[in-house]
Amino acid sequence: EAQVTQNPRYLITVTGKKLTVTCSQNMNHEYMSWYRQDPGLGLRQIYYSMNVEVTDKGDVPEGYKVSRKEKRNFPLILESPSPNQTSLYFCASSPGTLTTNEKLFFGSGTQLSVL
Amino acid sequence: SQQGEEDPQALSIQEGENATMNCSYKTSINNLQWYRQNSGRGLVHLILIRSNEREKHSGRLRVTLDTSKKSSSLLITASRAADTASYFCATEGNNRLAFGKGNQVVVIP
């Protein structure tokens, strides 16, 4: 089944403890992206990648890192999580660049709580 | 960055009625997309309209785009209880999709 898989679904951690949220897609998509969703703020883009080894900052990249060493994987790394990073995170992918009118396929989300 | 803004923010309707949502944006776009989200789950793509299109249909969905007013509308006809969800517009520019804050629609059986 074609899908974007995020893990874990729920995560509770403490301030400063490094964590990684994994994202994998099995559709051979070029484009991948991370969003965070907060009440009243909608979805905001954290980072995106148009291809392997190519990553760019979105609107809210501070406190996050990403890597794209393989086409299928796009992990989100929080080196030193803080409570203001408590949020619902979504990974998404697209077959090609968005300027060619492609749509995004979303994962099921990761609810992160930083205490 | 570009961002769509939906209006109204919340809508409650009876099953069988039509639901209309509007979206406005600020800069030029390549396309505008609408997505649905059920109860905090992943967003699902509904429909895409290109900047050179004015109207598009998909099943019970009708989307219009007015680039001169920088606005779009999503119409869901003959709504069903299963249409209860949050609906987001998203504008594409510079290879990025910028999402609005979402519009909660409740369809009462």
Concatenate the DSSP letters of all residues of chain A into one string: ---EEEE-SEEEE-TT--EEEEEEESS--SEEEEEEEETTTEEEEEEEEEETTEEEE-S--TT-EE--SSSSB--EEESS--GGG-EEEEEEEESS-GGG----EE---EEEEE-
Beta-carbon separation of B1 and A59 below 8 A: yes
Cα dist. B64→A11, A96, B53 in Å? 40, 25, 8
pLDDT in tens, A8-65: 999 999 999 999 999 999 999 999 999 999 988 889 999 999 999 999 999 999 999 9
Chain B residue numbers with beta carbons less than 8 Å from the beta carbon of A42 are 3, 88, 99-102
Are the Cβ atoms of B43 and A88 closer than 8 angstroms? no
The pLDDT assigned to B3 comes to 58
Per-residue confidence (pLDDT) for residue B95, from 0 to 100: 79
Q: How far apart are CA A13 and CA B58, in angstroms?
A: 43
pLDDT of residue A99: 66
Given a cut of 80, whether residue A97 has pLDDT beyond it is no
Q: What is the pLDDT of residue A2?
A: 84
Chunked in runs of 10, what are the mean pLDDT values of chain B (109 residues)? 61 94 90 92 94 96 96 96 95 86 92
Q: Apex CA B44: angle with CA B43 and CA B50, to 5°?
A: 110
In this predicted structure, what is the pLDDT of residue A1? 84
| Of the partner residues A45, A106, A111, the one whose CB lies closest to the CB of residue B42 | A106
B88 close contact with A: CB closer than 8 A:
yes
Contacts (Cβ under 8 Å, ≥6 apart) of A49: A31, A32, A33, A55, A56, A66, A68, A74
What is the rounded distance in angstroms from the CA atom of residue B68 to the CA atom of residue B54? 11
pLDDT at B5: 65
pLDDT of residue B8: 59
